[in-house]
C-alpha cells in the first residue's frame, strides 16, 4: 500500500533521508520511532508530495507519488499533531466539507455515523469545533479519513499532548481501521503506544532506517532497550 524505494531527501548540505526502504501493507500499523531530525516527518511529507525527493521513489497503492500526485492524494488521509479544522463550523459541517472536497457525499445520518463511530458524543456532532479538545479534534480527523475512504493514513505525532484516556481511545480507533484493511504509517515518540497499537516498528536515526521489529516479537522493555542503543550509536549488532 505504501512503499519507499531508496528514498533520499537533501536540504542544501543536509541529508534528511539517506536511502530509505519501507513497505506498509494493508492491515499494518507501522510506527516510525526516532529522535527529532531522524527523518520521520520528512518520510511522511514525501508520501504526501508536500516535498519532492532528491532521488528514489515513493508509491501509494503502486502509484508513483511524483508521477501522479493528485491520484495518490485521493488514496491518503493525513492526521498531524494538530488537526486543522474550521473552528466556526461544527464537527458535522467540517466533515461534510472535507468529504465533498475529496469527491464524496453522504446523507446527514451517514455523516453522523462516521463521527459517532469515531467516538464523538452525539451532543458534540453539531457543536463548533473551536470548543473541542485536542482528542475530539483527532476523532473528527479520523472520521474525515473514513468518509474519504482513504486506503492509507499518514499520522505525525497524533497522540502528542493527549491525556491517557484520549490517547487510548485514539489507539483503539487505529486498530479498528487496521482491522478494516487500512495501511497506517505513524511517526511517534511514544514507545508504549507503538508496542500497544503497532504491528511493526521502524527505528530511524539521522535519516536511516536502523532496524525493523515486529511488535509481537518484542516486549516493551526490549523496544526501549533497542531504541536507546540505536540512539546512543551502539547498535551495529542489532542492524536489520
* CA dist., res. 141 & res. 159, Å (int): 13
Say what the pLDDT of residue 15 is: 94
Spell out the domains of the chain, with CATH numbers in brackets: 2-83+151-238 (3.40.50.300)
Q: How far is CA 28 from CA 93, 124, 155, 198, in A?
A: 31, 31, 13, 7
The total number of residues shown for the chain amounts to 240
Say what the pLDDT of residue 166 is: 83
Indicate whether 176 pLDDT > 70.
Answer: yes
How much of the chain, in percent, has pLDDT values that exceed 90? 72
- What pTM did the predictor assign? 0.89
User: Taking a C-beta distance cutoff of 8 angstroms, is the pair 194, 31 a contact?
Assistant: yes
Indicate whether 89 pLDDT > 90.
Answer: yes
Contacts of 69 (CB under 8 A, 6+ apart): 49
Q: 19-74, pLDDT tens digit by residue? A: 999 999 999 999 999 999 999 999 999 999 999 999 999 999 999 999 999 999 98
Rounded to 10 deg, the angle between the 164-179 and 134-147 helix axes is 10
Indicate whether 239 pLDDT > 70.
Answer: no
User: Taking a C-beta distance cutoff of 8 angstroms, is the pair 20, 192 a contact?
Assistant: no
* CA dist., res. 132 & res. 102, Å (int): 24
Indicate whether 238 pLDDT > 60.
Answer: no
Task: Give one word for 56, left, alpha or beta, with left for phi > 0 and alpha for psi -120 to 50.
Answer: left
* CA dist., res. 190 & res. 161, Å (int): 11
* Structure confidence at residue 224 as a pLDDT band (50, 70, 90): very high
User: Taking a C-beta distance cutoff of 8 angstroms, is the pair 156, 39 a contact?
Assistant: no
Say what the pLDDT of residue 66 is: 94
Q: What is the mean pLDDT of the chain?
A: 91
Longest dimension (CA), the chain: 56
Say what the pLDDT of residue 81 is: 85
User: Taking a C-beta distance cutoff of 8 angstroms, is the pair 115, 125 a contact?
Assistant: yes
**Phi first, then psi: what are they for 232, rounded to 5°?**
-90, -5
* CA dist., res. 198 & res. 234, Å (int): 25
Indicate whether 87 pLDDT > 60.
Answer: yes
* CA dist., res. 134 & res. 166, Å (int): 9
Q: 116-145, pLDDT tens digit by residue? A: 988 899 999 999 999 999 889 999 999 999
Angle at 58 between CA 167 and CA 203, to 5 degrees: 45
Amino acid at each position: 500500500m505504501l512503499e519507499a524505494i531508496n528514498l533520499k531527501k537533501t536540504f542544501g548540505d543536509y541529508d534528511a533521508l539517506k536511502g530509505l526502504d519501507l513497505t506498509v501493507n494493508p492491515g499494518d500499523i507501522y510506527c516510525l520511532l526516532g529522535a527529532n531530525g531522524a527523518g520521520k516527518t520528512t518520510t511522511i511529507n514525501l508520501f504526501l508530495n508536500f516535498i519532492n525527493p532528491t532521488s528514489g521513489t515513493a508509491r501509494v497503492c503502486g502509484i508513483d507519488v511524483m508521477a501522479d500526485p493528485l491520484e495518490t492524494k485521493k488514496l491518503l488521509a493525513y492526521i498531524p499533531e494538530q488537526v486543522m479544522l474550521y473552528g466556526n463550523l461544527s464537527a458535522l459541517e467540517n466533515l461534510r466539507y472535507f468529504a465533498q472536497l475529496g469527491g464524496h457525499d453522504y446523507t446527514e445520518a451517514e455523516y453522523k455515523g462516521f463521527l459517532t463511530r469515531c467516538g464523538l458524543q452525539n451532543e458534540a456532532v453539531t457543536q463548533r469545533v473551536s470548543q473541542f479538545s485536542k482528542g475530539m479534534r483527532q476523532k473528527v480527523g479520523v472520521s474525515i479519513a473514513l468518509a474519504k475512504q482513504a486506503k492509507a493514513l499518514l499520522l505525525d505525532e497524533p497522540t502528542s499532548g493527549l491525556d491517557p484516556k484520549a490517547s487510548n481511545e485514539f489507539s483503539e480507533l487505529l486498530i479498528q481501521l487496521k482491522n478494516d484493511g487500512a495501511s497506517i504509517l505513524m511517526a511517534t515518540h511514544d514507545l508504549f503506544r507503538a508496542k500497544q497499537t503497532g504491528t511493526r516498528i521502524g527505528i530511524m536515526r539521522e535519516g536511516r532506517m536502523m532496524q525493523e521489529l515486529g511488535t509481537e516479537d518484542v516486549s516493551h522493555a526490549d523496544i526501549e532497550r533497542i531504541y536507546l542503543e540505536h540512539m546512543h550509536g551502539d547498535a551495529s549488532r542489532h542492524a536489520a
